[in-house]
Chain A
Amino acid sequence: MKEKLEALLKEGTARIEAAKSESELQEVKGALLGKQGSVTELMKELPKLDVSLRPEMGKAVNNVKNLLAEQIEGKREALKLKASEIAPDFDCTIPGEAPLMGGLHPITQMCYDLNDAFRSMGFEVFGGPEITSEYYAFDNLNFPPNHPARESMDTYWLEGHDSGEANEKLCLRPHLTGDSVRYMQTHKPPYRFVYPGRVYRNETTDARHERAFFQYEALIVDKDFTYTAGKVMIKSILSKVFGQDVPVRMRAGFFPFVEPGFEIDMGCLVCGGKGCSVCKHVGWIEIMPGGTPHPNVLRAAGLDPDEYTGFYVNIGLDRLVMMRYGVDDVRLFHSTDLRFLKQFH
């Protein structure tokens, strides 16, 4: 009997330990302590024992019964803490619910990226009127009186305001450069500011040409500013915006409001400068004109060009964004098509 009891305790403990769920544990409990359980069966054998042995053995059986019951309760607690109340067919692979799906226009995003980059270098953000007089669109930017850009084939003049004196002739601004003079006329040098915005040209549109597009100009005016410092500025900005070192080169270019003028190219990021269809196989992409403000522009702003100089760039935001995302048609930016715009969140 004693041996039986010891074996039972050992076996019961092992079975309790092995139970993996509460229901399994319940089964084990029934098999041990239930009406037909092994412990109960053993108790039923007590009366058959010699009277002198009964108290001792009765105590021992009870002891085992209590030990097992204790273990079962302990195990039950342990299983409870471990268990999940969730049905096992819960599917964790279902995708999450999307957050609010709004976004800024890809050009606004690029504009803000540039704002952040320029502001970190101490530039202010400025904006001028989008309808401008001929005076600010051309005259004080050193455009000669017969410059082709002034003709209506290139500029959107306003009905009823398309003739007369330069301060009365009005157009949708054909470029931002006039704003630089506005800023300089109303602030004190030295200057360091950017002036992003939309500009308008009366053009035939195609995948590379738009009537309304977004430019981003930056101007530094200071004493003794060299164009090589300008190159450093461009390189810093582009490298920040594109998150990698961007090669920059400046080559001869001509624009009425700068002297000297440059075409500024950035290394093609698509092919790494090896040559591909995006860069027309030259490894460089023309992204902006720039240069030193023409003395006449500085004079228009009331500055002495012998004392002041500076650096100016005009970044074509549309082109930069097309480059960033691989967009192949500039007209998509004004398409208002949400299938397009939602790609850039």
Chain B
Amino acid sequence: MKLSLNWIKDYVKIPDDMDLSRLAYDLTMSTVEVEGAENLRDRFDNIVVGEIKEVLPHPNADKLRVCKVDVGADDIKDIVCGGSNLEVGMKVVVACPGAMVRWHGEGEPVEIKNTKLRGVASFGMICAAVEVGLADLFPAGDDHEIMDITAFDAPAGTHLADALGLNDIILEIDNKSMTNRPDLWGHYGIARELAALYDLPLVEFDKFVPDVKEVYDVRIADTERCPRYIGAKIEGLGIKPSPFEMQSRIWRVGMRPINALVDITNYVMLAVGQPTHVFDSTHIIDHICVRRAEDGEKLQLLNDKDLSLSSDDLVIADAEGAVALAGVMGGAKDSVLPTTNSVILEIANFESKGIRRTALRYDNRTEASSRYEKAIDAERCDVALSLSMKLFSELYPDMKLVAFNDKYEKKTVQSEIDVETLWLERRLGKRIPPEVIAKKLGAMGFKVSFTDTNMHVVVPTWRSTGDVSIKADIMEEVARMYGYENFEATTITTSFDGAINQLDTDLIRRVKEYLAFRSGMQEIFTYPWMSEECVNAILPTTDNVLSLATPPSPTERFIKSSLLPNICRAIVKNERNFERFDIFEESKVFLDERYTSNYKNEKLPIEERHLGCAFVGKSDDISALYRHAKGIIEAMPRFTHMEGFTFKKEEKPYYADEVVWQNIYVGDKKIGDIALLSKKAALACGIKVLSAVLVEINMDELVPFKSRTNRFVRMPEYPMTDYDISFLVDSMVKWEEIYTAAMEKAKGGLLRSVSFVDEYKGKQVPDGKKSLTIRLVIGSDEKTLTASEVEEVANGVMKKLSKTFGAERR
């Protein structure tokens, strides 16, 4: 919302030497956020009043003229101009070199320089209204008309802002910072805050007393939705422009002046925040009735929208039908017309929620509806009436109020709140003297009375529509007016009742830090919705997948039930820049199943915390890629202090390659998978070249240790020998089988461990075979073994492998 400082000064006498940045700061700290303050005068720097002394033909152009223009102190300049309305004696707007104007009102402002036009030197430019941003105030008859300010009493050379009375400061207020304050949506409301802040008097409006006997027929059928309706029939009017100052104010705060009748209603709204409306009284048949619309009732709005109404809409109707959508917009037929010379002035109060529903229903929010939906108090009609009648009589000295009615069916009840002074003191951390509280709150219209222990507050009507209703609200009013910055810092005290111990929370962090710092993986974030092509490639079905009612795009409606589809998207994205990378994401996934919740009355779908990983590289050594991935997953429990994993081959993941996959278990519980993404699925996701080993683990199933469980093992007293043996074996024999068989030989006590060293298939190895190298650790607790004793253990292992698998030592 824009505010004119001059306008505010009508209601509160802010000292002229008040520092503007101080005012903006104080308003920001205590009331609303001031986003900017513009000195309007700056827009018209180097733009002055010029008086045309002579109009001469241009030697080289038919449509241009060379004007001799007095630009101040008899300084006559030649200015080339193509204006269609140039006349000697006319006062015009001259943009001197250095001024910023918009060519033909379009594009960014450009700086005016001395120039030559078709061979004739020109000092600056004679401007059209649109070029200096004043088209709303000086509408041009045609495109070539220049702005005529002959009517203004300002000598040549006067700064345009001085000539037109545009020396004003425009404050820009963040609307979001006052959605809860219906009283602030006009200049008067902000003036009241400033009066309270700076202890200045606030101008009061006189109560208007109608001196007319005839009662205008106003009927309210729904007093909940329309607590008050003032109808006033006024004659002796007519269509004409409003005075320049009124137009100028309306324009300065961002609206367009239309004609005197409409301008009065807009001016009143901008001044006191109360929307008003005028109907052409010759079009209102018999009476005004505020009622619910009938379902399907037709109404054409002022903006030519044709509505078919709902019975939830409130309308203003006459004897024949709806004439306006209450609180939102007038109807096209019955509002101000070029022939209007008598009106019905409407000043009404409407209930906020209904107005909001209607405005949203027809996507037709207006300045009026946005004010009504904040909940305006019914008393404000009085202020609006007072100002309206004052303006009518000023603008139309011959006007006559011929009929009047103030149907006030439901008063806005003033909130009354009791606040224990001790409570206030404890919560504020400070005692503020009662007289200070009474003064500050009093300046904002609150009535405060004190007893020994209590403070009784009567809230003004304009704050009683929901804004101030509980004692915490009073505390806020006291604190912000006292000044949030004027409270001394207080320390935080606590009682110690044990250290924070959150095993699950800590485990998640350890896992992520393990992956990032020890395993060299990069964490990524993805959206909670999955893109459809990856979903189809990765998931066997979408039956148990939740979706969004209003997705960000039609192909992103599914909510994550697995992390892998989005991880595959991330692979596609990074494949362009990297040929080797490992990524992971830790995030929630959701399943459209078993609706339960730990919290009362709520039914929530299954939600699991998952870990998803991708190990991405070239396709030439899948074995190395798989072992790299598996190594990181295998070692995770050890480094993150949780129950260990086992790997089994029970259930192939849908997206997995036929051969390269395993399921991950904790105890008997399957908690995830590790698998090579099949070529088919990779292509469907859009992964062009690289191969990916994917891992997904349900982190909710991980079991953190309560503390570290590593046990010290005494170092062996006698040396241990590493003994490598290589042998050929059928290529289908699995490492796990070899290991199990070899370890049977450990029962004697000398064989300490068996581990994998290398696997080789290739030139020197016959088809159907592979060469395997394993490492035995051999040693005794009683003595140093001799070479032949070591050899004997190794031979025993080899014999076992030969017998079981037909292995041949190489």
Contacts and interface: CB of A to CB of B under 8 A. Distances in A.
Interface of A: 100-105, 107-108, 112, 119, 121-125, 127, 129-133, 135-136, 146, 151-152, 156-160, 162, 167-168, 170, 172, 182, 185-186, 192, 198, 200, 202, 211-212, 220, 224-229, 231-233, 249-254, 259-263, 292, 294-295, 305-306, 309, 333-339, 341-342
A336 B569 contact: yes
Nearest to A145: B353
A132 B588 CA distance: 13
B231 to A, nearest CB: 29
Contacts of B601: 133, 135, 167
Contact of A334 (B31, B178, B526): B526
B492 A229 contact: yes
Given A108-B523, A198-B528, A224-B427, A249 B485 contact: yes
Contacts of A156: 548-550
B485 A232 contact: no
Contact of B581 (A157, A224, A261, A338): A338
Contacts of A338: 522, 524, 574, 577-578, 581, 583
A220 B490 CA distance: 15
14 contacts: A102-B515, A104-B513, A130-B588, A131-B590, A146-B357, A159-B548, A198-B525, A198-B528, A202-B552, A226-B429, A228-B429, A229-B491, A338-B574, A339-B577
A262 B472 contact: no
Given A156-B548, A170-B605, A112 B30 contact: no
B528 to A, nearest CB: 6
B233 interface: no
B550 to A, nearest CB: 5
Interface in B237-268: none
Contacts of B428: 226
B604 A200 contact: no
Contacts of A337: 573-574
B137 interface: no
B177 to A, nearest CB: 7
Interface residues of B, number: 88
A146 B353 contact: yes
B423 A306 contact: yes
Contacts of B473: 259-260
B356 interface: yes
B597 interface: yes
A338 B579 CA distance: 12
B490 A252 contact: no
A294 B472 contact: yes
B33 A263 contact: yes
Interface stretch (B91-99, B475-483, B686-694): B475-483
Nearest to A210: B527
Contacts of B357: 146
Given A122-B500, A157-B550, A341-B522, A131 B423 contact: no
Contacts of A225: 492
Nearest to A118: B500
Given A226-B428, A250-B484, 12 more contacts: A102-B517, A105-B525, A129-B588, A130-B528, A132-B602, A167-B602, A229-B429, A252-B29, A252-B30, A260-B476, A306-B423, A342-B522
B494 A122 contact: yes
A122 B598 CA distance: 25
What 10 A-B pairs have minimum CB-CB distances, sorted nearest first? A100-B520, A260-B476, A226-B429, A336-B570, A102-B520, A259-B472, A167-B601, A102-B516, A105-B523, A254-B180
Contact of B527 (A124, A162, A249, A334): A334
Nearest to B176: A254
